[in-house]
Amino acid sequence: MIYVTRREVFSASHRLHNPELSDEENTELFGKCNSPNWHGHNYTLEVVVAGDPDPKSGYVIDLSVLKKIIQENVTSKLDHRNLNLDVDFMKGKITSSENLVVEIWKQLAGKIPSGNLYSIKLYETENNYVEYKGE
């Protein structure tokens, strides 16, 4: 089994806020991430596809194809957007990296033409990332 990774980057703004909590509870829970005037991150996304190389091409997946799928289904919808306001698949959700990586998985599931979607890592900063494997 070979694991092939494509890295993409995007920049987006957001605010961590739970509308079911009071302003005081939101401040207590999220601190400066609850700031009403938004803040931004330069996110890095790593999409891993697992499979056996095709005997004809030697590829698990053509990385130029994977790049296009990620750009069309994910980064074009997130880059330079406000995750709370502009992104259909984040409507009504707290815009944590945890929730975002699950929704990114759903955007890519079923769209990978060869190999299997294995994992997605989402870096919010150099030091903080989440990983999701679909369950």
Residues that bind Ni ion (CB under 5 A): 33
| Per-position DSSP letters for 26-89, written without gaps between them | HHHHHGGGG-TT-EEEEEEEEEEEEEPPPTTT--SS-HHHHHHHHIIIIIHHHTTEETTTT-GG
User: Which of 8, 33, 41, 46 is an active site residue?
Assistant: 33
Task: Considering the candidates 28, 39, 80, 98, report the single residue annotated as catalytic.
Answer: 80
Residue with Cβ nearer Ni ion (33 or 130):
33
Both tokens of 134, joined, read 């679909």
Min dist. Cβ of residue 13 to Ni ion (A): 8
CA atoms within 13 A on the CB side of 35: 8
Q: Tell me whether residue 39 or residue 133 sits nearer to Ni ion (CB atom).
A: 39
The smaller minimum CB distance to Ni ion, of residues 34 and 75, is found at 34
Are 46 and 66 within 8 A, CB to CB?
A: no
Report the residue number whose CB is nearest to Ni ion. 33
Instruction: Give yes or no: 80 in active site.
Output: yes
Just list the catalytic residues: 33, 80, 124
